[in-house]
Amino acid sequence: MTVVTPGTDARTSEETVAALADPWVTIVWNDPVNLMTYVTYVFESYFGYPPARARTLMLQVHRSGRAVVSTGPRERMEVDVQAMHGFGLWATMQRASEGDGGASA
């Protein structure tokens, strides 16, 4: 059931709810600075990925230039992006529905 307050459009409220529910992704990009072993370590220590998964994601970053490392609500992805920046990695976020956003994590 949609509750509409005077002066608002029910469609706009439904679109807002849908937009908030859309998953987002954190993307880590290849860079010329960080060693592959360090990137693997970050994925293991921050995300808790097992070594094999962390290495797979690291190789995807290295070979394809990017990898989706986490998926979830926008606020959580903002935290993950900031954490990657704190580790010195290049990271961005986008809606999972844009491009191949949900392909990895």
If you average pLDDT over every residue of the chain, what do you get?
87
> 15-19, 23-27, 60-64: which has the minimum mean pLDDT?
15-19
**CA dist 95 → 52, 56, 79 (Å):** 26, 22, 15
How is the beta sheet containing 24-29 ordered, strand by strand? 66-72, 24-29, 90-95
Model pLDDT, residue 26:
99
Model pLDDT, residue 75:
98
Model pLDDT, residue 21:
72
60 vs 99, residue with greater confidence: 60
Compute the distance between CA of residue 52 and CA of residue 3 in angstroms, rounded to an integer: 48
Stated pTM of the model: 0.77
Model pLDDT, residue 68:
98
CATH number at residue 56: 3.30.1390.10
Number of domains present in the structure of the chain: 1
Model pLDDT, residue 86:
99
Which residues span the domain enclosing 46?
34-97
Model confidence at 16, pLDDT cuts 50, 70, 90, reads low
**75 in helix, strand or coil?**
helix
Residue 82 lies in a domain: yes
pLDDT at 43 over 90: yes
Residue 6 lies in a domain: no
